[in-house]
Amino acid sequence: MRTSTLLPLALAIIPSLAQNTSLPINITNVESVDQSTRVGQLAYGASNLDFGYSAGAGINFGNGTLGGGFNAGIPGQSEGALGGGWTLTGKNLTFGLGGVYNNVSFNVAVIGDKVTGKITVQVNGKDVAL
């Protein structure tokens, strides 16, 4: 590609990545723990970040399950987002990762079964041979 073509493309992208500094960054958090049932959740999030993004992360625990996750993206849009999580139980461990960019999405899941010893991997809902 010629330099004369690259410069207009780069300049067209820059305004869409500009930060809106007129809005304050908003921080939210959830902290809920019931000591008698040993069930709880801890989470933090932020909105009005660079490029219009919001992001968050948290953990949940109790009733034989421990899990957590994270996400970042522009709410309600498919221009760019990333999220992932994990869940641990007495029988299995599951990891997941998903994303979308320019309306093209991907999802990856890895499941380890403690009972059978089997590891399963899926990409976009289809099993992948190991």
Integer CA distances (angstroms), 87 to 64, 72, 81, 82, 90, in order: 10, 19, 21, 18, 10
d(C-alpha 37, C-alpha 41), whole Å = 12
pLDDT digit string, tens, across residues 97-125: 999 888 889 999 999 999 999 999 999 99
Determine the pLDDT at residue 40: 97
Percent of the chain scoring above 90 in pLDDT? 65
* Residue 110 confidence (pLDDT): 96
The more confidently predicted of residues 7 and 104 is 104
Tell me what pLDDT residue 13 has. 40
Q: Look at residue 18 in the predicted model and tell me its pLDDT.
A: 54
